[in-house]
Amino acid sequence: MHVTARAEYALRALLALAAAEPSALTAHTLAGTHGLPLTFLQSILGDLRRADLVYNQRLPRPGYRLARAAEDLTVGEVLRLVSGTRAGERAEPPEGEPSALVGALRQVWRAADTAQLAVIDSVTLADLRDGRLPERVRALLT
């Protein structure tokens, strides 16, 4: 799975907001504390705001906050939103009837895609924030 810098920074920013709850964090604080380029981060935060994942609180303390509970946001959802594609899935194979060998290879790729999606769709921001991966994800690490 290829994770872009944009997706990585979006997840880092969302994790920082989840950890700061219920406080709000400014873009400057997020950038400085987490080593994120400010201009790039502001663009990402704009995308996350338009997708209703964060909101920009004005008063009494300005900054960004999660728009939904960290328990309700999965890594997969964020990756799909930021990448604009179906994260974890390969592009459609070329047209034409594959040979038996190529057909078997495609089945392997589909199984790998399914496994990736099962992981990213089962891990929430709260899981990451709290350092507790789901059991089936932990089992893959051994």
CA 79/CA 6 separation, integer angstroms: 9
- The Cα–Cα gap between 87 and 124 comes to 15
pLDDT digits (tens, 9 = 90+) for 48-76: 999 999 999 888 889 999 999 999 999 99
CA–CA gap between residue 14 and residue 88 (Å, rounded): 20
pTM of the model: 0.83
CA dist., res. 115 & res. 132, Å (int): 19
Residue 142's pLDDT is what? 82
**Chain segment 8-51, per-residue pLDDT in tens:** 999 999 999 999 999 999 999 999 988 899 999 999 999 999 99
* 36 membership: H or E segment, kind and range: none
